[in-house]
Amino acid sequence: MVRGETQQDPLNAFITLAEIPPRAPGRLSGITVAVKDNISTRGVETTCGSRILSGYVPPYDAHVVDLIRNEGALIPGKTNMDEFGMGSSTENSGFGPARNPRDPERVTGGSSGGSAAAVASGMARMALGTDTGGSIRCPAAFCGIVGLKPTYGRISRYGLVAYANSLEQIGPMALSVADCSLLMEVISRFDARDATMQDRPYLPRLDGDIRGMRIGVPAEFFGEGVDPAVADRVRKAISVLEGLGAAIVECAMPSMEYALAAYYVTCTSEASSNLARFDGVRYGPASDYKKPWHEAFQEVRMQHFGPEVRRRILIGTFALSAGYYGKYYGKAQVAREHVREDYSRLFQEVDLLAGPTMPTVAWKIGEKSDPLSMYLADILTVPANLAGVPAASVPCGTVQGLPVGLQLTGRAFEDELVMNAAYAYEQGVKA
């Protein structure tokens, strides 16, 4: 198996190229749907972008994989990603970074960067990504495509290799809102194997009519760290929505001050527990069973986990440890409650919130060298995960030739409304 940049895959969008055939004809017949490599595919290697799962071949399909294959989709392969979803650029992949189709010297965003690059370059018509703190919306914005992080509980996570269970959702990515909406419709069928799933399938309603819709614009979404040129582009996009009949309401979301810290404490804590299973015993590269337990585990984990994964396990272990639990994990959960309350309060006055998806355009590969500066790039996307509400990124033009995303966030289980507003914008700028 040749990995990295090849003639067939110059952007390194895929970790594994494979033609997984459809099982029955349906609404996705004739359509290629690339699948992120943390979503299990029976008989096809699933690495999560990590060398610790090199050679791991799942004995079962994820529920979403079942659903798309039963609707006629052909899966062209498993897409590149930051190791276990930990990153915002796909540079943390154990198999080399993916490259942005708009400028191969730049990152795709992450962690579903391979999915975004595959769709944006035409290697797949649609893709599945996963979003724990922005991992669908960030690469959608950076590569100029549409992506939706669905409401928590709307898509089965059965077969998704867990990183931070309370935050992550599988979601659709595509060039157009209609395609993204179709894939969302297919994957939202109920599955009792995910105990957090609710039987509330997505029923698309793309008429593009947003007259009378109230759209809130929190000042904090345009705060410190947001590139003024990006802010300007997004404000112009919001005025397009206004031109289509929506009422724009200036508002405030004070919990943004600590949302990012709450997110990183929560996701690293959950990761430190979830990733304990990767010990080289049941699957993946074997640990040396002749050695003592801890020594053998440390050896295999140090050798096969990348630095960012080990850093997050370290932070999470610390945040949950006796003496620090209250200061970090406990406080983060209180902060999370305040983020939820901010959304509830705002959604009594408005139907949607709008702002930039990312504070900047795609950066150059290798440009961000310290972990904290990479974390700060997620400031605008993590609040939706903390509250479990749906959020989409829709392309809204470029800054210096690089795509900018407009982020639309809605009430829980109103993914349909979010997608309809995205559709209205997409059609509005086309007209």
Partner 1 sequence: MVSEEEVLRIAELADIGIGKEELPPFTRDFNAILDYFAVLDRVPPGEGWKAGIANVLREDRVTPSLPQEEVLALAEAAEDGYIRAPRVM
Active site residues: 36, 111, 135
Minimum gap (Å) between residue 200 Cβ and partner 1? 13
Interacting positions 14-73 with partner 1 (CB under 8 A):
56-57, 59-60
Site string for partner 1, 160-199 (x = CB under 8 A): --------------------------------x--xx---
Minimum gap (Å) between residue 91 Cβ and partner 1? 16
Residue 191 amino acid letter: D
Which of 172, 109, 104 lies closest to 141, judged by CA?
Answer: 109
Task: Tell me: does residue 325 bind partner 1 (CB under 8 A).
Answer: no
Minimum gap (Å) between residue 290 Cβ and partner 1? 8
Interacting positions 375-394 with partner 1 (CB under 8 A):
375
Extended beta strands in 133-246, E state? 146-149, 169-174, 214-218
Minimum gap (Å) between residue 401 Cβ and partner 1? 32
**Which token pair is 429?**
């700028």
Interacting positions 234-263 with partner 1 (CB under 8 A):
257-258, 260-262
Under DSSP, the state recorded for 44 is B
**Which token pair is 110?**
């992450």
Provide the sign of the torsion angle of the four alpha carbons 371, 127, 386, 422, taken in this order.
positive
Task: Tell me: does residue 151 bind partner 1 (CB under 8 A).
Answer: no
Under DSSP, the state recorded for 282 is S
What torsion, rounded to 10 degrees, do the Cα atoms 47, 35, 114, 258 define? -80
Task: Tell me: does residue 286 bind partner 1 (CB under 8 A).
Answer: yes
Q: How many residues bind partner 1 (CB under 8 A)?
A: 65
Which of 270, 337, 297 lies closest to 84, judged by CA?
Answer: 270
Rule CB under 8 A: choose which of 14, 297, 347, 413 binds partner 1: 297
Rule CB under 8 A: choose which of 96, 204, 371, 397 binds partner 1: 371
User: How open is the CA angle 99-6-109, to the nearest 5 degrees?
Assistant: 15
CA distance 128 to 341: 30
Site string for partner 1, 77-96 (x = CB under 8 A): --------------------
CA distance 306 to 308: 6
Provide the sign of the torsion angle of the four alpha carbons 264, 267, 273, 274, taken in this order.
negative
Rule CB under 8 A: choose which of 232, 276, 277, 366 binds partner 1: 276
Rule CB under 8 A: choose which of 228, 250, 282, 401 binds partner 1: 282
Residue 193 or 205 having the CB closest to partner 1 = 193
**Which token pair is 254?**
């004070």
Return the SS3 of 212.
Answer: coil
Q: Which residues are near partner 1 by CB under 8 A?
A: 56-57, 59-60, 192, 195-196, 257-258, 260-262, 264-265, 272, 276, 279-283, 285-299, 301-303, 305, 307, 310-311, 313-315, 317-318, 321, 327-328, 330-338, 340, 370-372, 375
